[in-house]
């Protein structure tokens, strides 16, 4: 594969030939930073774990150089952090038994630059080589610019190759804004109750983030458990851990649709639900 960044890397945890690792992929996650995939796409990891006919692959788009750091990592340079975070992501790929881990190694600015076609072209290569059934990425209501940028670049790539390949589903998942606010009929709930030990292990690998000042491990597990309890107000819990997603597939099916307008529909439905509930009591 001809990836744009000279420092990009394709890591295959079990050492299979590249062609085999690519072609066996059934689920693919495209995340901005190291650890985003383990936070937002555990549904795909779980669906494929120890399944001989299903394989999860991951694309980490940026190099992670701008992450906050304290404690052990307080004096690390950006270059030091890039090395550590790359190593952590590869460890996660081993523990989660990923088929392929792509490390595209872009600076965040390259994702935000609308004139830079390289991330889209890289994603097109990866999508055509893997042809996954299910794709996970960031939701379009995420409050992190780079996360939204990655999701938009993925949508652009999928739109440009839709005559050659179209996945069954594309889901926008939770990292820097959860999706509890969406009306229930629009939420896509993923039951990720199983293998809690694997969830904890994957999140705990990213020591540079946890020791560096952000308890993503506790926050992520807490959010999943909270979703499970607060999802249904008039029924008993049917899961102990849930992840919410939004369905982004219509943006590929209707390539002329504006992603911002698509998101406004979800927001307007939420606003209408709140308004109607209040008015019932006035």
- Cα 98–34–174 angle (5° rounding)? 90
Categorize the per-residue pLDDT at 254 as very low, low, confident or very high, splitting at 50, 70 and 90.
Answer: confident
pLDDT of residue 161 exceeding 90, the answer is: yes
Distance of CA 105 to the CA centre of its chain: 16
Kindly report which listed range (11-15, 48-52, 142-146, 209-213) carries the lowest average pLDDT score. 209-213
Q: Pairing between strand 9-11 and 101-106?
A: antiparallel
* Residue 75: per-residue pLDDT: 83
Residue 59: strand, helix, or coil: strand
**Which residue would you say has higher pLDDT here, 72 or 7?**
7
Categorize the per-residue pLDDT at 78 as very low, low, confident or very high, splitting at 50, 70 and 90.
Answer: confident
Categorize the per-residue pLDDT at 106 as very low, low, confident or very high, splitting at 50, 70 and 90.
Answer: very high
Closest CA to 101 of 202, 222, 242, 243: 202
pLDDT of residue 63 exceeding 70, the answer is: yes
Sign of CA dihedral 13, 17, 18, 22: negative
* Residue 209: per-residue pLDDT: 86
pLDDT of residue 81 exceeding 70, the answer is: yes
* Residue 126: per-residue pLDDT: 98
Domain boundaries, the chain: 9-257
pLDDT of residue 66 exceeding 80, the answer is: no
Mean pLDDT of all residues belonging to the chain: 95
Let me know: does 240 contact 193? Beta carbons within 8 Å. Answer: yes
What mean pLDDT is predicted for residues 65-91?
A: 86
**How many CB atoms sit inside 10 A of residue 61's CB?**
27
pLDDT of residue 79 exceeding 70, the answer is: yes
* Residue 233: per-residue pLDDT: 72
Let me know: does 203 contact 38? Beta carbons within 8 Å. Answer: yes
What mean pLDDT is predicted for residues 161-185?
A: 96
* Residue 174: per-residue pLDDT: 98
Residue 66: strand, helix, or coil: coil
* Residue 234: per-residue pLDDT: 67
Contacts of 28 (CB under 8 A, 6+ apart): 44, 56, 57, 58, 59, 126, 127, 130, 132, 134, 135, 136
CATH class given for the domain over 9-257: alpha beta
Closest CA to 169 of 40, 275, 26: 26
* Residue 50: per-residue pLDDT: 95
Kindly report which listed range (12-21, 30-39, 56-65, 231-240) carries the lowest average pLDDT score. 231-240
């Amino acid at each position: 594969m001809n990836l744009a960044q000279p420092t990009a890397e394709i890591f295959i945890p079990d050492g299979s030939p590249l062609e085999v690792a690519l072609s066996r992929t059934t689920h693919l996650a495209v995340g901005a930073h190291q650890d985003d995939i383990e936070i937002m796409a555990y549904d795909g990891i779980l669906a494929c774990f120890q399944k001989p006919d299903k394989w999860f692959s991951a694309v980490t788009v940026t190099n992670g150089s701008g992450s906050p750091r304290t404690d052990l990592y307080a004096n690390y340079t950006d270059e030091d952090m890039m090395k550590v975070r790359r190593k952590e992501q590869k460890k996660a790929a081993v523990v989660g038994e990923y088929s392929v881990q792509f490390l595209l190694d872009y600076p965040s600015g390259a994702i935000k630059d609308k004139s830079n076609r390289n991330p889209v072209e890289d994603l097109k290569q990866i999508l055509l080589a893997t042809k996954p059934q299910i794709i996970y990425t960031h939701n379009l209501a995420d409050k992190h610019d780079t996360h939204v940028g990655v999701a938009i670049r993925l949508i652009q790539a999928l739109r440009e190759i839709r005559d050659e390949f179209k996945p069954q589903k594309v889901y926008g998942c939770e990292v820097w804004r959860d999706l509890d606010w969406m009306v229930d009929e629009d939420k896509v709930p993923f039951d990720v109750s199983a293998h809690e030990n694997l969830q904890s292990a994957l999140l705990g690998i990213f020591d540079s983030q946890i020791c560096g000042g952000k308890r993503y491990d506790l926050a992520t597990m807490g959010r999943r458990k909270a979703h499970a309890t607060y999802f249904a107000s008039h029924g008993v819990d049917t899961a102990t851990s849930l992840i919410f997603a939004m369905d982004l597939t219509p943006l590929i099916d209707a390539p002329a649709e504006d992603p911002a307008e698509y998101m406004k529909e979800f927001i307007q439905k939420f606003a209408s639900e709140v308004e109607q509930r209040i008015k019932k009591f006035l």
